[in-house]
């Protein structure tokens, strides 16, 4: 029963990540794009925290790596807030994408 719930959680988290990241890049309206950016940044931080707290206490290096993956979203938010040009905002979106994708990969595959 527990493995079935983990499988459902994996599918739901993966679907939210793929759909959210796709919509973040495909949205035409800048307001919707901004909202999706912040939602996906929060999602990346949540995945990072969830992944780090699921590891045992003596896996210190792995926990630090996972927290680092989660903090990529924080860096993305800071870049997004401080920038006015589109290239820097694209870099912020790429940081959030790396955070979400890296968090999912670290949580379920590594």
Whether the CB-CB separation of 107 and 54 falls below 8 Å is answered with yes
pLDDT for 88 equals 93
pLDDT single digits (tens) 5-40 = 988 988 999 999 999 999 999 999 989 999 999 999
pLDDT for 108 equals 83
Task: Give the pair of three-digit tokens for residue 87.
Answer: 């290239």
State the average pLDDT over residues 57-85: 93
Whether the CB-CB separation of 76 and 41 falls below 8 Å is answered with yes
* Tokens 């990529």 found at: 72
Q: How confident is the model at residue 95 (pLDDT cuts 50, 70, 90)?
A: very high
Q: How many helices (H) and strands (E) does the chain have?
A: 4, 0
pLDDT for 16 equals 94
Question: What's the predicted TM-score (pTM) here?
Answer: 0.89
């Amino acid at each position: 029963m527990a493995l079935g719930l983990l499988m459902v959680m994996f599918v739901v988290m993966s679907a939210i990540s793929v759909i959210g990241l796709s919509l973040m890049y495909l949205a035409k309206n800048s307001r919707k794009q901004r909202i999706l950016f912040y939602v996906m940044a929060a999602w990346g931080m949540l995945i990072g925290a969830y992944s780090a707290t699921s590891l045992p206490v003596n896996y210190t290096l792995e926990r630090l790596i996972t927290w680092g993956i989660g903090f990529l979203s924080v860096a993305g938010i800071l870049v997004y807030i401080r920038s006015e040009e589109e290239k820097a905002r694209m870099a912020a979106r790429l940081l959030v994408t790396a955070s979400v994708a890296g968090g999912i990969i670290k949580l379920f595959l590594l």
